């Protein structure tokens, strides 16, 4: 990967971030309602509203407001939450670790299991085992994550009692240390498995197609002709087969956040999903805006990392 490619790809982040900030600004400014009334209450007089407009810079021309807004967003200042009375960035940062734990676990589970299943299916192409894996992947891809979560809650949590239905820890126990970690793990199991299922379907499918494609190439024929074991041949094929999988994992950041938010809702997992739900109910717009900006930024960074990983893994990638 050349320094030139790295620089050009890094520079592409600038318009993407600018576009997102502009979009957020436009959406908020086209919304119905007067922000001065929303901030100051319905029974103020004109002078009071004028004071509020001057105080928050709402009386200045739009381009000036946009610049002020963009500057504070870039500084990490996402405004004050209406409900919590604290900076949005703090409110969001508090909930982020739980969501990242859920997403990270799900991504790790789905990537490892997806590659294994994909290779398993590709080596048995068009036989019943392959057909079963493919059918399962199709179903997994079509199921809404919140439905799978509800079914898991009904059967595995409420039905068998093996898993907790809600939360991240058992409120009746004040465990610390490894007991606490085990408790979190116990609560994490179902939401993570449910969230992983949707991603698993896609990874499996892509790995299977990639391995099959690679197994048809000349270099695998050469590897076979050399008398390599089937295992070694698949290992050769896997290197190239996994390239699309890497791309897709990065490109799915937005969908993974969406899935996490929905799964969190079912299991009352105290992450961004819960925060979003309560902010919708209380119409805490600054928090919802902050969540939109955060997820957008995550998508932009994930895309960047994916492209860099791709260029690093595949020397054929040249930027022009």
Sites of contact with other proteins (CB under 8 A)? 12, 15-16, 19-20, 23-24, 27-28, 31-32, 125-126, 128, 131, 134, 137-139, 141-148, 150-151, 153-154, 158, 165, 205, 208-209, 212-213, 216, 254, 257-258, 261-262, 265-266, 276-277, 279-281, 283, 285, 288-289, 291-292, 295-296, 299-300, 303
* Residue number with CB closer to other proteins (62 or 139): 139
Q: Is there a contact between 210 and 236 (Cβ–Cβ < 8 Å)?
A: no
Q: At what angle do helices 145-152 and 177-215 cross, to 10 degrees?
A: 130
CB-based contact 242:115 (threshold 8 Å): yes
Any residues with CB less than 8 A from the CB of 138 and at least 6 apart, and which?
Answer: 201
Q: Using CA atoms, how far apart are residues 214 and 66, in angstroms rounded to an integer? A: 50
SS3 217: coil
The nearer residue to other proteins, 12 or 72, going by C-beta atoms, is: 12
Cβ–Cβ < 8 Å for 210, 242: yes
Q: Which is nearer to other proteins, 110 or 296 (CB)?
A: 296
Residues 6+ apart with CB under 8 A from 65: 25, 57, 58
Q: How far is the CB of 6 from other proteins (least distance, A)?
A: 18
Q: Tell the smallest beta-carbon distance from residue 188 to other proteins (Å).
A: 19
Closest CA to 118 of 139, 134, 101, 95: 134
CA 293/CA 291 separation, integer angstroms: 5
Q: How far is the CB of 205 from other proteins (least distance, A)?
A: 5
Using the minimum distance from each CB to other proteins, give the nearer residue, 26 or 182: 26
Q: How far apart are CA 246 and CA 203, in angstroms?
A: 9
Toward other proteins, which CB reaches closer, 192 or 275?
Answer: 275
As measured in angstroms, the least distance from the Cβ of 232 to other proteins is 22
Q: How far is CA 124 from CA 65, 75, 87, 134, in A?
A: 61, 54, 55, 11
Question: Smallest gap, in angstroms, from Cβ of residue 199 to other proteins?
Answer: 14
Pick between residue 7 and residue 138 the one whose CB is nearest to other proteins.
Answer: 138
- Nearest-approach distance from CB 245 to other proteins, in angstroms: 14
SS3 call for 124 = coil
* Residue 255 beta carbon to other proteins: minimum distance, rounded to whole angstroms: 8
Half-sphere exposure (Cβ direction) of 301: Cα atoms closer than 13 Å: 6
Rounded to the nearest whole angstrom, what is the least distance from the CB of residue 291 to other proteins in the complex?
6
3 state DSSP class of 1: coil
**Closest approach of Cβ 63 to other proteins, in Å?**
20
* β-strand partners of 80: 87
Nearer to other proteins (CB atom), residue 183 or residue 213? 213
Closer residue to other proteins, CB minimum distance, 141 or 180: 141
Beta carbons within 8 Å of 130's beta carbon, 6+ residues apart: 121, 122, 124, 208
Output DSSP code: residue 35.
Answer: H
Closer by beta carbon to other proteins, 52 or else 272: 272
């Amino acid at each position: 990967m050349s320094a030139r490619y790295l620089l050009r790809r890094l520079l592409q982040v600038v318009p993407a971030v600018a576009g997102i900030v502009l979009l957020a600004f436009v959406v908020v400014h086209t919304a119905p309602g007067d922000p001065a009334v929303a901030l100051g209450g319905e029974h103020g007089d004109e002078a009071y509203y004028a004071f509020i407009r001057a105080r928050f810079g709402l009386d200045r021309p739009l381009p000036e407001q946009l610049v002020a807004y963009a500057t504070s967003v870039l500084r990490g200042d996402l405004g004050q939450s209406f409900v919590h009375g604290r900076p949005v960035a703090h409110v969001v940062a508090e909930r982020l670790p739980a969501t990242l734990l859920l997403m990270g676990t799900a991504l790790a589970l789905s990537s490892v299991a997806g590659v294994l299943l994909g290779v398993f299916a590709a080596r048995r192409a068009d036989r019943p085992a392959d057909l079963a894996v493919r059918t399962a992947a199709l179903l997994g891809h079509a199921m809404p994550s919140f439905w799978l979560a509800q079914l898991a809650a009904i059967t595995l949590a409420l039905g068998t009692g093996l898993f907790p239905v809600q939360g991240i820890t058992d409120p009746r126990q004040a465990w610390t240390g490894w007991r606490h970690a085990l408790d979190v793990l116990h609560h994490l199991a179902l939401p993570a498995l449910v969230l992983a299922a949707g991603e698993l379907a896609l990874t499996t499918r892509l790995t299977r197609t990639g391995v099959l494609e690679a197994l048809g190439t000349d270099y695998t024929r050469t590897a076979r002709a050399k008398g390599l074991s089937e295992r070694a041949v698949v290992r050769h094929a896997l290197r190239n087969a996994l390239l699309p999988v890497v791309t897709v994992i990065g490109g799915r950041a937005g969908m993974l956040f969406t899935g996490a938010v929905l799964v969190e809702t079912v299991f009352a997992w105290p992450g961004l999903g819960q925060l979003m739900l309560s902010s919708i109910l209380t119409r805490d717009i600054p928090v919802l805006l902050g969540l939109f900006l955060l997820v957008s930024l995550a998508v932009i960074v994930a895309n960047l990392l994916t492209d860099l990983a791709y260029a690093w893994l595949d020397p054929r990638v040249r930027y022009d």
